Amino acid sequence: MLMFQDSIKLVADGPNVWAGEVDPAYRGFGSQFGGWTAAALLKAILLEGEAKGGPLSESVLFIEALNEGAFEISTRLIRSGARLQFWRSELHQGGKCCAHAQVTLGVRRETTSFTDAVMPDVPPPETEGLGEWMPPAGFGAQYRSRWITPMPRSANLDRSQPTSSLVWQQDRAQRPVDVLQLAAMADLAPPRVIWKREAISGSSTVSMTTHFHATPDEIVATGSRFVLSEVHCRRCEGGYFDHELKLWSPDGALLATSEQVAAFRD
């Protein structure tokens, strides 16, 4: 069965070096979709023979536009302990560093477990009347959306309200969720500024940190179903905004959380 990770093809090209090719299906506005890039940086580390455990967090800096064509990712194990590993990966294209990631891997064990965050009480994704809209870029066509809160371009949008959003999202090919898909969906949120303006405004993610909470069983249980994305903006000023995001399984499991800073132009 094909998975999202299959869209990121990496081939060993020397010690701790991986050669890849940009997937044109995940193009964004003038660069590759940041979520795909973050997933590629993470995949290179997970392919390393020394990698142990699963991803706990990934912090990505998006430095240069990633264009179509070939690229390479270099990885480095900074420190390895009994339960934790700290890795660095860099994506280069045309002699430039386009993106940089710091990744923490951890071996999970049975411990006290709880979730203080509460999943919003929302209608299921198959509910009639939910809107469908995704950004008009290549990567937007790879996902389905079912909007619970007003879409950024909807006629009933109240621009005086906060730019928070609740939307069910699903891989359009219905590939089951994997950890790399969670890394990508952490960046799958329209620019908060378009809730306040009449015109569509593109944005570029500058930095993004994602925390992976889902257990392997929760990922398997989620399968190819819709995932709920909950997004809240904190401030937009000076050409930048930040937001926090939560990804929930249909069963109420908190799969991942992230926060990012993005740049935009009026």
Instruction: Give the mean model confidence (pLDDT) for residues 104-119.
Output: 95
What pLDDT, on the 0 to 100 scale, is given for residue 216?
A: 95
The answer, yes or no, to whether residue 1 has pLDDT greater than 60, is no
Amino acid at residue number 144: R
Domain coordinates in residue numbering, the chain? 4-108+128-264
User: Any idea which of 11-20, 80-89, 197-206 has the lowest mean pLDDT?
Assistant: 197-206
The answer, yes or no, to whether residue 199 has pLDDT greater than 80, is no
User: CATH classification of 4-108+128-264 is 2.40.160.210, yes or no?
Assistant: yes
Q: What is the mean pLDDT of the chain?
A: 94
Structure tokens at 154: 């909807």
Amino acid at residue number 18: W
What pLDDT, on the 0 to 100 scale, is given for residue 36?
A: 97
Distance CA 147, CA 156 (A): 13
Distance CA 32, CA 112 (A): 40
Distance CA 54, CA 38 (A): 15
What pLDDT, on the 0 to 100 scale, is given for residue 197?
A: 80
Higher pLDDT, 129 or 265: 129
pLDDT in tens, 132-182: 988 888 899 999 999 999 988 777 778 888 999 999 999 999 999 999 999
Output the pTM of the full model: 0.95
pLDDT in tens, 77-100: 999 999 999 999 999 999 999 999
